[in-house]
Structure 1
Amino acid sequence: MQNIATIATGFVALLHLYILYLEMFLWNTPKGRKTFGLSEEFAAASKVLAANQGLYNGFLAAGLIWGMWQGSTGQSIKIFFLACVVVAGVFGAVTSNKRILFIQAFPGAVALALVFLSGESP
């Protein structure tokens, strides 16, 4: 079960690295605009804010990777950062786009449940 929890946590970390890439580097490109459903004008006007969002997603990924690096002693770190992912995903779904619930919050919640079920002690 620990291996499955680690794989799920790693998937969430990779997902957030991809979101970082989209928000920081592709926001104002055709791919970024299509991904987020943005007009060219809005993407240009919000590019700096998107880069900031991307950086925060990078911090989430870094925290998850840090927790995984620690092995069983990183249980509390994984729980904290996965909980942050779920909260951010729910907030994004409520305030921005309901798809975020399935793209961000759901994988985070699954990984969080698997970490709890893995039996490692925090």
Structure 2
Amino acid sequence: MILVFAKIIIGIVALLHIYFLWLEMFAWTTRAKKVFRSLPEHLFEPTKTLAANQGLYNGFLAAGLIWSLLIQDIHWQIYVGLFFLGCVAVAGMYGAITASKKIFTVQALPALVGIVLLLAHLFL
């Protein structure tokens, strides 16, 4: 049962990162202005390429998380999930330290919950 909850969290984190990909790669000069209100509006156009690059990385994280759900071997599924959730958690903690505390809640916390659930499944 713990593994089912872990997979749900992994799916949610993957969906979040697909949203981040879309926002940063395709909606940076439109929708992102409403999401990132602390960034002055005149900076969105000049940072469009940087945001798209960041969005691509978020896409890779989402792809890895989705891949972890598709792996047949349960141990490899957990190990790959732990790796990608760990990447998300580190990125979220770094973002919280350097950019906005909100990033911890939106990005790192769900990943950490997933990590705890996967580890609980392994050790309980």
TM-score (structure 1 length as normaliser):
0.93
* Rounded Cα–Cα distance in structure 2 between residues aligned with 1:24 and 1:39: 18
Alignment gaps of 5+ in structure 2: none
Q: Provide the identity percentage.
A: 48
- The one-letter code of the counterpart of 1:104 is Q
Match of 1:34 in 2: 34
Taking only aligned residues, the RMSD between alpha carbons, in angstroms, comes to 1.2
* Rounded Cα–Cα distance in structure 1 between residues aligned with 2:20 and 2:86: 17
1:100 matches 2:120: no
Structure 1 runs of 4+ aligned residues shifted over 4 Å read none
* Rounded Cα–Cα distance in structure 2 between residues aligned with 1:14 and 1:112: 17
Match of 2:46 in 1: 45
Match of 1:9 in 2: 10
Residues 78-115 of structure 1 deviation map (CA, whole Å, 9 limit, x = unaligned): 00000000000000011111110111000110111111
SS at match of 1:44: coil
Residues 35-76 of structure 1 deviation map (CA, whole Å, 9 limit, x = unaligned): 012332110110000000000000000001111111413111
* Rounded Cα–Cα distance in structure 1 between residues aligned with 2:98 and 2:3: 34
Match of 1:85 in 2: 88
Alignment gaps of 5+ in structure 1: none
| Count of residue correspondences | 119
* Rounded Cα–Cα distance in structure 1 between residues aligned with 2:25 and 2:118: 29
- The one-letter code of the counterpart of 2:48 is K
* Rounded Cα–Cα distance in structure 1 between residues aligned with 2:52 and 2:62: 15
TM-score (structure 2 length as normaliser):
0.91
